[in-house]
Amino acid sequence: MNVYKKTSNAVVSALLIGFLGALLSATMPGLYLEEEWGLPWLFKARGGIASPRDVIIVTLDKSSPEQLHLPENPEKWPRSVYARLIETLNRYDPAVIALNIYFGEDREPSNDTKLAKAIAAGSNVILSNYLKQYTFPSADPAKAFTYEKVIDPIPVLAHAALGAAPFPLPKTVTTVKQFWTFKQSAGGISTFPVVVFECFVLKRAYPEILRLLRQIDPALQATLPPTFDQLAAKASVFGIATQIRQAFAAQSLPQFNDLLARANYPQETLRLLRSWFALAKGADNRYFNHYGKAGTITTLPFHQVLEDKRLNPKLFRHKVILIGYSENLEPEKLQGFYTDFSGDISATLSSTEIVATAAANLIDGSGIRPLPLQTQCALVLFWSFLLFGVCRVCTYRLATVLVILLTAGYAAFAYFRFTADHLWLPLCVPLLLQTPAVAAVMIFSYLQKNKQDQQNLHKTLSYYLPDNVVSAIANQARLEAMPHYGELVHGVCMATDAGRYTTLSETMDPLTLNALLNRYYGAMFPLVKHHHGIISDVIGDAMLALWATPSEESQHKINACHAALEIKTAVDHFNRSQPYQLPTRLGLHFGEMHLGNVGAMEHFEYRAVGDIVNTAVRIEGLNKLLGTQILVSASVIEGLPGFFTREVGAFVLKGKTQPVELFELIAPLDQLDPVWPPLAEAFSDALKLFQSHRWAEALNAFLDIDRQHPGDGPTLFYIQYLRQRPPETGLLDQPARIELGSPINQLHL
């Protein structure tokens, strides 16, 4: 019985310390400890590593202005200098040239033109842009709306380059540790290192990628030209890269590895494709694997490359060339970044070295990989039980030696995994917290062993943990149980989008555009709030609004429909009141979604997630094709009194497999224009003919409607659809539907 109690106490103690370690590992304090103590120790124990072979920096350092007789401030250099540099580099056949320099202002037109021609000549240049945050003011700061917008380089350069991307970094209080791969708060855009990496892979392995796509996405492969140069000339490389990444993400790891094994690609190509697959399946943020102190990555001064002297002809061939400012250019401005290798201010890394590190990590697949949270929790629980097991079975002296050896062995194993395959095992929680706690329990237990009998010893062990620690655990447990991660809700999602916004953004200065958007949303937001909705997301000219609760309520549908109609009226009035037109389209869908925090430890956003949201956005986009303003799904309008609608057909939306029955929301019944009932009745009859596969009769019916009601968008859509691409005659036992993945996408109304 005493043995049973002693074992029970050991198990309870192991559980308590293990649970405390697991809980700490899952919270911000635990992450902070590991980032600020564990990770730096691993970096310093490992030391610097070899410079990446595929990335080279050309730096605008302090000596270049002197050698080239240029102003000290590179921002005042003529852009023809950059054009000469790109032309010089392209003689060495690099894969990608990435300029970590923002060209946001027009300068001397002739020099801008020279730079644009140099950029376009090689079809391999990527430029930098940046994210600017906009906030819609509110009397209550907690209710202010904030969104991020991409600010591109001047058009003549942006159009010449493969594209441009920003490089925002997560906020940090000490050293720079992570970078974003995709910025969800800005619409899920790819960041600068990602586009550099993806363009590099496309340049180096484009034929192999086409062969691989033939297996996993033949439809996408059929749309791509046979060479990368043709791709760069006719399409958006960034857009194609996104499609390829999505095709990769649709594969499981075993499937992908099996495809690569059967493809028999060169090892270098396999390395790049596996890195791209890891990017597609990974999180939106990555930990840097720093190569060492400043200057570790191969770096050449700007003037040396421009003068084209003493350069190895193979130095740049098929590599990524990053061009940017050096930290030593103006050290008094403290513009460098501190890393775990920084000993003092002179050892900080420039922004260009940070970008190069991120790009090289993606290319090599060498980013630091923290253990998944569940694995960390399991590890600290196992460590607690292992130490307690040793203490329970062995004598005091032997247990002390074994605990020391186990601790050293764990540290050595963590160092080995970090060095060999960049896996980051937790150190602070198991070694600095759990091991001392277990050691304290062990010492206390053995000191009491000779003074008390087994019953007192069991009692002492059961009371070892202080009350405040137990209270803290209990409080943390209650906090973990709180539904702060969100909940499943039922309701309506409304997606809106403003037409002509892209054109306006190209022609208007940012301040004027910002003021216009403020007035535009000022007409919409109050209507959502008035009808008891919430704004879930705002990105540029697009908005998501929600009406949802845990239980299904029909009132949400009524409120959302009223809000949609009033938004339509308000936006029409807004467009009549000022010279800039923002015609707005709305899409509504009803169902279940998850509403809560989305993000990671460094950043969360409160938003809805689910197929309902995606479908609402797709429905909104269909307005453009149909020439309508408000489209709602059958799940929104079914059984809903007080509104006049007309059915516009069943559509298989892009990316979907099941058709969605859609209706145009026209007006409340008490505000209906008399022209609508006869038009809707005639359209319904024609649509029934279409759904019955009676194509010729349907076309004649729609043509008759067009003669009586010219300009009706859905009528014109069906006329053009039936004329340009008659539907297939199969599946006659089912109502006809329109698949938006078919060539109907080519229609222009």
CATH at 624: 3.30.70.1230
pLDDT confidence of 141, banded at 50, 70, 90? low
Quick one: average pLDDT of 530-535? 90
Assigned domain for 733 exists: yes
Assigned domain for 212 exists: no
Distances (CA, A) of 150 to 232, 355, 358, 541: 22, 18, 20, 13
% of the chain surpassing 70 pLDDT: 87
Question: SS3 sequence, 19-67?
Answer: HHHHHHHCCHHHHHHHHHHHHHHHHHHHCCCCCCCCEEEEEECCHHHHH
Residue 524 CB: number of other CB atoms within 10 A?
23
Residues 732 and 633 in one domain: no
Instruction: Looking at 56-191, list the stretches that DSSP marks H as alpha helix, in order from N- to C-terminal side.
Output: 63-68, 79-90, 109-122, 155-160
Residues 475 and 340 in one domain: no
Assigned domain for 247 exists: no
Average pLDDT, the chain: 84
Assigned domain for 683 exists: yes
Residue 659 phi/psi, 5-degree rounding, is: -70, 150
Whether the Cβ atoms of residue 168 and residue 190 lie closer than 8 Å to each other: no
Residues 314 and 403 in one domain: no
Question: What are the pLDDT digits (tens) for 259-273?
Answer: 888 888 999 999 999
* Phi and psi based region of residue 731 (left: phi greater than 0; alpha: psi -120 to 50; beta: remaining): left
Assigned domain for 256 exists: no
The domain boundary, picked from 481, 497, 520, lies at 481
> Does the pLDDT at position 527 exceed 90?
yes
> Does the pLDDT at position 85 exceed 80?
yes
Q: Is 489 helix (H, G, I), strand (E, B) or coil?
A: strand
% of the chain surpassing 90 pLDDT: 46
Residues 619 and 500 in one domain: yes
Assigned domain for 269 exists: no
Residues 513 and 660 in one domain: yes
Domain that residue 566 falls in: 487-672
pLDDT confidence of 408, banded at 50, 70, 90? very high
Residues 584 and 647 in one domain: yes
Total domains in the chain come to 4
Residues 37 and 171 in one domain: no
Residues 440 and 493 in one domain: no
Residues 75 and 150 in one domain: yes
The domain boundary, picked from 466, 481, 496, lies at 481
Assigned domain for 61 exists: yes
Residues 36 and 140 in one domain: no
Task: Choose between 746 and 155: higher pLDDT.
Answer: 155
Residues 688 and 621 in one domain: no
Assigned domain for 559 exists: yes
Residues 173 and 96 in one domain: yes
Report if pTM > 0.75: no
Question: What are the pLDDT digits (tens) for 662-708?
Answer: 999 999 999 998 999 999 999 999 999 998 888 889 999 999 999 99
Whether the Cβ atoms of residue 224 and residue 231 lie closer than 8 Å to each other: yes
The domain boundary, picked from 425, 458, 481, lies at 481
